[in-house]
Structure 1
Amino acid sequence: MTSSILHRIEIADAHAHQFRVTLTVPQPAAQQRLSLPAWIPGSYLVREFARHLSQLQARQGSREIALQQLDKATWLAACDGRGALTVSYLVYAFDTSVRTAFLDARRGFFNGTSVFLRVAGREAEPQAVEMRGLPKGWRVGTALPALKTDARGQGLYRAADYDELVDHPVELGDFWRGEFKAAGVPHEFIVAGALPDFDGERLLADARRICEAEIAFWHGRKKPHFKRYVFMLNAVDDGYGGLEHRASTALIAARRDLPQRTPAPAKTEARAELSEGYVTLLGLISHEYFHTWNVKRLRPAEFARYDYTQENYTELLWFFEGFTSYYDDLLLLRAGLIDDARYLKLLAKTVTGVLAAPGRQVQSVAQSSFDAWVKYYRGDENTPNATISYYAKGSLVALALDLTLRTRGQGTLDDVMRGLWARSDGGPISQDDIAAVLHEVGGRSMAKELQAWVHGTGDLPLKELLQRAGVSWTQQAPTLVQRLGLRVSESALTGIKVSHVLRGGAAEAAGLAAGDELLGVDDWRLRRLDELLRLLPEDGSATLLVSRDQRLLHLPLVAAAAADSGAVALSPAPAPADNPAATAAQSLRQAWMRG
């Protein structure tokens, strides 16, 4: 393949965290516009990547030409007919997240949206990337198709167009790499920054089980739409996150959460009990891999063609992120990586978190999706009171729809997902498509449920639905912070600092505000929040001593709470042999959990 547009990326100065990028455009327009995306698909916030570009220079042959900046991320090159346009620039790269770019003396990483200029009018043309001159021992890891590369991955890579070019992140460095096949498709797992006792073989085996379960979910025994897949995991001291791409994903996890090699006699026992951190990592892997179908192929109709210059609004993130969040842990269960009790514990955590957010009564998940650009990634002290997560509540909408279909015996949400794939040929969909397939699978319109659960702010009928599915719902006693309706941070340096005051709680009624430091209660000095529980009188009434902006305040507190404000616990309900209803519920639960 001969590409018309070439992007060459080199390490300019690792200690200064700078990449050098050179763009070559054959036969440019007389007034050629160039721009850098303002956001990256999958992370719905305008991030202004162009702020990291500097020293832009343009030439045609040996002649320097004018490069005029038109706005925050667009430039105009005054070209003529005398040869290819070459634009060179530096990119500052020191963001360890999965969204942008990073470079130091040990590791490099970039997303195309952070480094590759877009040539106006030429976005649909083939693009090529050249990577050479890597430090000794460094290799290239990416799902971008190789055109001509050496053993370390240096050389030329190709993309059919600009969208494909920027949908393949690149990992650079001396990383660990492992391979496996799932449903006959080659998969790679790249891990940077792991500790010496990292158990790569365990990670590969568990990732393979996830991939095979998800391929079977979507395609049965058929092969998926991609020919190769790459996981890129950056292990750090403390961090968590992921970003999906069409044939790869970039992940971040804490090193302590990766599996550790164990002595041979302990291996059987180690597999039986997974750490909480490792289960969280497996859930992240499951989530991002599921996105290969649900948001990268199935996607909102508004995302049929990305506009990289501004927000791309949709009300459907409750489906694309929320339903993916529903299936990430459920498919760990179906893959045999966790048991029923662990799955119900994870589900209960989500239920508790949603019910603890006053914002669920203020914002619908459809509105939460639309407002992602200004609210989800910009949390503040009022976020729990004004918003609801389209991830968390969206996953519970999926649960409610699934159990509703199953209790009626008219199909499952699994059937809905596969029906949407068939209906759109793995392409853009609208809410009308979702409603239509729910109707087809369920045998009746579910418009009433969609209106109430997606566009309304009432609580979902989860307790009743779960009990019908043979799951016991137990409301636990509220903790102190639940009784007070606040969230705090504690440290030896800053003391007990209030981070959030929840709407309608005792802390709000007392007049507490975010930023307050709790100093004492009645005549006692308060050093840790758990001391407050011991110091409160039986009726929960006391006077708090609070520091706010150098002033000392005495605030009256009544630490009461509703009986249902505690965490929710879920467990399999017993099914006595002489109780046909309980036996039927148990069968429904097994069918739901096993798929």
Structure 2
Amino acid sequence: MIRSSICLLFFMASFVLQAQISSKYTISFKKAVHHEANIQATFSNLKSETATFRMSRSSPGRYALHEFAKNVYNVKVTNGKGKELKATRPDPYSWEVNDHDGTIHVSYTLFANHGDGTYAQVDETHAHLNIPATFMYVPELEDQEMEVTFKVREDLNWKIATQLKHQQNNTYYAPNLQYFMDSPVEIANFRERSFDVKGQKIMLVMHDDAASEDEVDTYFEKVSKVVLEQMMVFGELPSFDYGEYLFLACYMPNATGDGMEHRNSTAIPSSRSLSQGGMEGNIGTVAHEFFHCWNVERIRPKSLEPFDFSQANMSGELWFAEGFTSYYDDLSLVRSGIMSREDYIDGLVRTFNYVWTSPGRQFFNPIEMSYQAPFVDAAKSVDETNRENTFISYYSYGSMLGLALDLSLREQNLTLDQFMTLVWNTYGKSEVGYTVNDLHESLVKFAGKQFADDYFGNYIYKSGMPDFERLLKNVGVILETKNDIEFGTMVRNQVLVSNPKIGSASYSAGFQKGDKLLKIGGIELDGNAGVNSVLNGFKIGEKVSVVVERYGNQKELELTIGIGTSYNMKLMDANLKAFTKKLKERQASWLASKV
């Protein structure tokens, strides 16, 4: 009697659960060799007289439009009884049907051959699926539960890895559309490594046919160090929804290098195998994407909630969400010992030069640079732009602002780690979206009104440059300013391949992208000598005749030899008297492991 009652209760609970699932998918890969997947979807509990189903136009973690509908064809629709329904197209992304009975069955073919963090790729090595690029959805049902069954290629020994909740066999579950779309899937003959951190599992899913078992082990040790080092910034891991976090590493020659954060996982494809440079070249992406499980997935801009799959998504907080994450990726590598301090400084100075020598700061502050994301984040355009002069990546700009804030706080015997913990406890753990003003007020609370107002007033709302020479010196790093002869644009095989930098010698002289340099001061160019090396034969301020080919004709321009400002950084020599015990301690507090 007791056993029968339990069975009855279990059956009723299962029936209720099934009744709540309004979107069910089955995907198969018989024609994987042709990059095709077949998807069958059943959408039920439809209330609207006209049922609308559509493909997403954008993808979580990306801010531009991607128009995934372009790779969908062979669309067929029936009602719940199998009656064929005629679908109309109100726009390029949607289909509509009438005369349904509360349920529609939709089948279609997906072409997928771009294995990065946004699109999908299907071939006989794997099915690399980003959900928005793969599955149609019904907007009316977006708050209801979803289920997907993967018909894997058993002849290829495929297995399934995803943050979706495992139901049974090859069937997985999502509570709603937002979670479903945020859940990438790697289906392949992959290998796994995992370790537990305070009751939660961190798993590396490794699809890399060329890597040896020892190489996978070595790489997993590095991944583990990154996880533990970054956890020390906040003092804890997030509470992952199903007690598990997955690194979906696809290091195959057919993949496209990328990294994309998700709530309980990250897709980190690369064409570099661990055996072919990926051991060193791919770990930076691991560090960046894992930090996102705090910063952007849970410490989340209010402007990105909820994510809108029907349009581009704009946020003015990306200098913090992406930029501060970029500051912490290499910082966690040097702290964990994966990267040397010398290599860290070398990487820092490259970003430093890119940001602080760019003319873009005269046009946009960091908030406005963040607004540019829909135009630059894997966005496509066919017309020329002037990004060289107007745009600074919010990744790079934000990382320099993170460096400035960290070193400035250290002058107050505070740290950015502590501030990030405050933001985590205020907005991340409770998952309350924040604004730029919220960050400003949090810094007021943390470091005082004068400090916070100066930082935001000078560097966030405006585009000022902090006093890095002083800030870096306080942690034992020397910043040097260099003024060298500079042409002011990139030249390859004598041809200008970028727009001249505003204010540079080439800009002032009227050079254009596409000009071919023939003679400089009477010296004929043969493509072997670098332009700057030729210019170094003249004096600063000297006027030089330059002959170019433009639109098939020769043109003579007058170039005034000019200089360009750049920067260099180096660690203080440990043997110098100036590198005091106090400076060593400050540098260690900044760069040494916290584990």
Partner of 1:216, secondary structure, is helix
The residue type paired with residue 362 of structure 2 is: Q
| Aligned-residue CA RMSD (Å) | 2.6
Structure 1 unaligned segments of length 5 or more: list them. 150-154, 261-274
Relative distance call for 1:223 and 1:128 in structure 2 (3 A) is: closer
Aligned to 2:582: 584
Q: After TM superposition, list the pairs within 5 Å mapping 1:59-78 onto structure 2.
A: 59-60=78-79, 61-78=81-98
Size of the aligned set, in residue pairs, is: 561
Aligned to 2:3: none
Aligned to 2:341: 340
The answer (yes or no) to whether the contact 2:487–2:531 under 8 Å persists in 1 is no
Relative distance call for 1:192 and 1:556 in structure 2 (3 A) is: farther
Partner of 2:402, secondary structure, is helix
The 1-side partners of 2:539 and 2:575 are apart by 41
Relative distance call for 1:11 and 1:519 in structure 2 (3 A) is: farther
Partner of 1:129, secondary structure, is strand
Relative distance call for 1:523 and 1:343 in structure 2 (3 A) is: closer
Aligned to 1:282: 283
Relative distance call for 1:78 and 1:503 in structure 2 (3 A) is: same
The answer (yes or no) to whether the contact 1:18–1:103 under 8 Å persists in 2 is yes
Aligned pair 1:7/2:9, yes or no? no
Relative distance call for 1:435 and 1:163 in structure 2 (3 A) is: same
Aligned to 2:14: none
Aligned pair 1:486/2:489, yes or no? yes
Aligned to 2:230: 214
Deviation at 1:12, TM superposition (A): 5.2
Aligned pair 1:429/2:431, yes or no? no
TM-score of the superposition, structure 1-length normalised? 0.87
Q: After TM superposition, list the pairs within 5 Å mapping 1:114-153 onto structure 2.
A: 114-134=133-153, 136-137=155-156, 138-149=158-169
Relative distance call for 1:519 and 1:173 in structure 2 (3 A) is: farther
Partner of 2:142, secondary structure, is coil
The 2-side partners of 1:311 and 1:486 are apart by 32
Aligned to 1:351: 352
Per-residue CA deviation, residues 284-327 of structure 1 (Å, 9 max, x unaligned), is: 11100011111111111122212211123221001100110111
Q: After TM superposition, list the pairs within 5 Å mapping 1:128-527 onto structure 2.
A: 128-134=147-153, 136-137=155-156, 138-149=158-169, 155-196=170-211, 199-220=215-236, 227-236=243-252, 240-255=257-272, 258=274, 278-375=279-376, 377=378, 382-409=386-413, 411-424=414-427, 425-445=430-450, 446-476=452-482, 478=484, 483-490=486-493, 496-521=495-520, 522-527=522-527
The 2-side partners of 1:312 and 1:44 are apart by 5
Deviation at 1:278, TM superposition (A): 4.7
Aligned to 1:554: 556
The answer (yes or no) to whether the contact 1:124–1:161 under 8 Å persists in 2 is yes
The 2-side partners of 1:236 and 1:524 are apart by 45
The 2-side partners of 1:31 and 1:239 are apart by 39
Partner of 1:512, secondary structure, is coil
Aligned to 1:593: 591
Relative distance call for 1:536 and 1:396 in structure 2 (3 A) is: closer
Aligned pair 1:19/2:37, yes or no? yes
Relative distance call for 1:509 and 1:205 in structure 2 (3 A) is: same
The 2-side partners of 1:529 and 1:458 are apart by 37
The answer (yes or no) to whether the contact 1:144–1:158 under 8 Å persists in 2 is yes
Per-residue CA deviation, residues 78-136 of structure 1 (Å, 9 max, x unaligned), is: 1433x631011112212232211112233321111112222222111110011114251
The residue type paired with residue 498 of structure 1 is: V
Partner of 2:563, secondary structure, is coil
Q: Which has the higher contact order (CA 8 A, sep 6+)?
A: 2
Aligned to 2:105: 86
Relative distance call for 1:279 and 1:460 in structure 2 (3 A) is: farther
Partner of 1:69, secondary structure, is coil
The answer (yes or no) to whether the contact 1:110–1:170 under 8 Å persists in 2 is yes
The 1-side partners of 2:249 and 2:491 are apart by 31
The answer (yes or no) to whether the contact 2:334–2:341 under 8 Å persists in 1 is yes
Q: 2:545 aligns with which of 543, 546, 554?
A: 543
Relative distance call for 1:252 and 1:510 in structure 2 (3 A) is: farther
The residue type paired with residue 539 of structure 1 is: K
The residue type paired with residue 252 of structure 1 is: P
Relative distance call for 1:196 and 1:322 in structure 2 (3 A) is: closer
Aligned to 2:7: none
Partner of 2:446, secondary structure, is helix
Deviation at 1:556, TM superposition (A): 2.6
The residue type paired with residue 500 of structure 2 is: V
Per-residue CA deviation, residues 183-211 of structure 1 (Å, 9 max, x unaligned), is: 44323323335535581111111001101
Identity, % of aligned positions? 24
Relative distance call for 1:97 and 1:561 in structure 2 (3 A) is: same
The residue type paired with residue 468 of structure 1 is: N
The answer (yes or no) to whether the contact 1:325–1:392 under 8 Å persists in 2 is yes
The residue type paired with residue 589 of structure 1 is: Q
